[in-house]
Amino acid sequence: MTASELRKMFVDFFKEKGHKVIASASLMPENDPTVLFTTAGMHPLVPYLLGESHPQGRRLTSIQKCLRTGDIDEVGDDTHLTFFEMMGNWSLGDYFKEEVISMSFDFLTNVLNIPIERIAVTVFEGDLTVPKDTETEAIWKNKGLKQTQIYAYGREENWWGPPGQTGPCGPDTEIFYDMGKAKCSDHCGPACKCGKYVEIWNLVFMKFKREADGSFTEFKQKNVDTGMGLERVLTIFNGKTNVYDTELFIPVMTHLNNIIGELDAIMSIRDKRIICEHIRAVCFILGDTQKICPSNTEQGYILRRLIRRMIRLFKKAGINQNYLCDLAEVIIRQYQDAYPELAENQTFIKEQLQNEIDLFLKTLDMGLKKADQYLEKTDINTALSGELAFKLYDTYGFPIEFTCELARERGRSVDMESFREKFTAHQNKSREGAAEKFKGGLADHSMETARLHTATHLLNAALRKVLGDEVSQRGSNITPERLRFDFSFHRKVTPEELREVEKIVNEAIDKQIEITMKEMKLNEAYALNAVGVFTNKYEDTVKVYSIPGYSVEICGGPHAGNTGELGSFKIVKEEASSAGVRRIKAVLKEGKHEQ
């Protein structure tokens, strides 16, 4: 089975079941500050899971690009990935447990031809807040599963979501493939890590919304959200033991092995896997419509971290010339049919890779000089302090592995215990800052967020009027307190231009214009000159929000009903976000604006 065959089989199956196919959304979540990347297929659908009507209807299916950063340090083993493709189907208040389990069982046993005896499932065992899911257990038994194939677990195993601090969530039933190995103990089950059971599909019954105070409220609209990892399924059903032996990685792994062989270099299997996994993730981040660049913050920081890790691994193997652009070309060729944006943005991908390579090599040279200075001042019988090792890492971007290697060459050591303490403190501080920063999100339908969403449309229109059609949205980030808007522009916006932008937005607010929404065909929307931010994700039918005289934009909402609800608009900062991209931060205040 090939990846393209699996994608088609999945999508065709659910089309036959009345689902509309929706395109993969951007890897960068639109208007959701709670996460850096799109982490699941349901992520772009949160407003619709909360009750907004989707223009494609109540049954949806897609193959969504996803990226998760929590497992970066685990990449290189048989299963962990940063970037992956999530096959999913959704019911927005249509079918529920019986129907989705029946469809999933049908796909597994009749399309993928999995013997029923190789299937194991888990259900939610219940707690003081939510009772045991006996209904799901009974449905699985009616499908022919024996009691020995059904396991009950608590929230840690069988509760999903929300993806941010608040939002839709609920109990789930996870489907596992029995690899045929003997049980490791009498207590062996799908929660065991021995490798007998491999999760292939998660069916989430979204009955609840988690509130900001940690409580749960039950939805009137019961939703279903499912997710099946393409890479994992492809690995299992091709009889492989790791994802790198599938067609997803064979081309880039072969190319890397050829490079290593030609140079007569030595690189470990794990390091090869890390490079091949990271170059795929990097290509998809750089190839995204939002054109994120390497930086020291947010998505750009993750991108920079992945690139620099690959450069370090080449250096570690004694390969001084960098081959990342060559490997990127392999990925682009392989995925461009399924994801055309990679081919469309291949020049940008390679330019950013080369820029980061050049920058990091300079950084490494500076780090080498500093490391030499620190080691020269360190007594031969004394370890290099963890504080100095961390300074090399944090200030100069110098990998700790390089520091240890240099120390060994000079007959010295590094105080790794102290370094780890400094590093852990740094991580904890970053997490605390992120937790404080990333509030709100797609699940936040508060009036404050709706008003700021509408203000973003007015800001976009005003920028285009003042600065010209060169302006196009590159991303937005909204919390209940402020909006952040990234847009393409080649220079700093002058104070006079910013005042004019503010004036136009506040003028629209003063006119108290009614905001309307209409569902229409995509070609109709473009005939109205509607602004489309991420055109590759739009379907045949879209929602178009209009502020007559100012803005017509394709969007999923939520919005204010009238511009007069916005109060007054104030730009608080304008700055560079990345090369060719500017960033504006703005707020709404009560009362009329000052003239």
Half-sphere exposure of 522 (CA within 13 A, CB side): 11
Q: What percent of the chain clears pLDDT 90, i.e. is strictly above it? A: 52
User: Does any domain span residue 186?
Assistant: yes
Residue ending a domain, among 410, 438, 466, is 438
pLDDT at 594 over 80: no
Percent of the chain with pLDDT over 70: 93
Q: Is residue 339 part of a domain?
A: yes
Confidence (pLDDT) at 163: 62
**Alpha carbon distance 382, 547 (integer Å):** 69
Binding positions for Zn(2+): 453, 457, 555, 559
**Residue 130's pLDDT is what?**
87
Write down the pLDDT at residue 164.
Answer: 64
Residue 18: count other Cβ atoms within 10 Å of its Cβ.
12
What's the pLDDT band for 450 if we cut at 50, 70, 90? confident
Per-residue confidence at 595, pLDDT binned at 50, 70, 90?
Answer: low
CATH number, position 22: 3.30.930.10
Q: What is the pLDDT of residue 537?
A: 47
pLDDT digits (tens, 9 = 90+) for 139-149: 999 999 999 99
Instruction: Answer whether residue 12 is part of any domain.
Output: yes
Read off the pLDDT of each residue in 343-353 and give the average, rounded to a whole number.
Answer: 94
- Quick one: 94 and 229 in the same domain? yes
β-strand pairing of 119-124 with 150-153: parallel
Mean pLDDT of the chain: 87
Specify if 518 maps to a domain: yes
Confidence of residue 101 (pLDDT cuts 50, 70, 90): very high
385's CB contacts (< 8 A; 6+ apart) are: 378, 415, 418
Are 544 and 407 found together in one domain? Answer: no
pLDDT at position 402, please?
76
Q: pLDDT-based confidence at 441, cuts 50/70/90?
A: very low
Shared domain for 166 and 309, answered yes or no, is no
Grouping H, G, I as helix, E, B as strand and the rest as coil, residue 236 is helix
Domain that holds residue 218: 3-241
| Rounded CA separation 132/158 (Å) | 11
Is 282 found in the same domain as 234? no
Q: How confident is the model at residue 436 (pLDDT cuts 50, 70, 90)?
A: very low
Same domain, 462 and 507: yes
Contact 92, 223 (CB under 8 A): yes
The pLDDT score that the predictor gives to residue 381 is: 80
- What letter represents residue 168's amino acid? P
Whether 408 and 452 map to the same domain: the answer is no
pLDDT at position 32 is 64
- Is residue 595 in some structural domain? no
* Judgement on whether residues 235 and 157 belong to the same structural domain of the protein: yes
In this predicted structure, what is the pLDDT of residue 145?
A: 97
Beta strand pairing call for 541-547 and 516-521: antiparallel
Are 253 and 400 within one domain? no
pLDDT of residue 61: 96
Give the residue carrying structure tokens 């050829």.
Answer: 258
pLDDT exceeds 50 at position 377: yes
Asked if residue 443 has pLDDT above 80, the reply is: no
pLDDT for position 437:
41
Give the predicted TM-score (pTM) of the model.
0.76
> 171 and 33 in one domain?
yes
What gap in Å lies between CA 595 and CA 593, rounded to an integer? 6
Q: Is there a domain that residue 594 lies in?
A: no
Contact 287, 346 (CB under 8 A): yes
100 with 167, same domain: the answer is yes
Task: Give the total number of structural domains in the chain.
Answer: 4
pLDDT band at 444 (very low <50, low <70, confident <90, very high): low
- Mean pLDDT for 415-431 is 79
Q: Name the binding residues.
A: 453, 457, 555, 559
Q: Are residues 135 and 185 in the same domain?
A: yes
- Least confident stretch, 33-42, 113-122, 231-240: 33-42
pLDDT digits (tens, 9 = 90+) for 68-96: 988 787 899 888 899 999 999 999 999 99
Region 354-363 average pLDDT: 86
Tell me the three state secondary structure of residue 428: helix
Residue 175 confidence (pLDDT): 97
Region for 192 from its dihedrals, namely left if φ exceeds 0, alpha if ψ lies in -120 to 50, beta otherwise: beta
Residue ending a domain, among 177, 208, 241, is 241
> Which of 376, 399, 418 corresponds to the end of one domain?
376
Reply yes or no on whether the pLDDT at 492 is more than 70.
yes
Please tell me the least confidently modeled range out of 57-66, 332-341, 401-410, 479-488. 401-410
Q: Does residue 357 register a pLDDT over 50?
A: yes
- Over residues 150-183, the pLDDT tens digits come to 999 999 999 987 766 777 789 999 999 998 889 9
Count the Cβ atoms, other than its own, within 10 Å of residue 245.
15
Residue 433 has pLDDT above 60, yes or no: no
Query: Which CATH number goes with the domain that contains 556?
Result: 3.30.980.10
**Single-letter code of the amino acid located at 438:** F
Token pair belonging to 31 = 């208007």
**What is the tens place of the pLDDT at every residue in 390-409?**
988 877 777 787 788 788 87
pLDDT at 404: 86
413 and 459, same domain (yes or no): no
- Of 413-427, 509-523, 532-546, minimum mean pLDDT range: 532-546
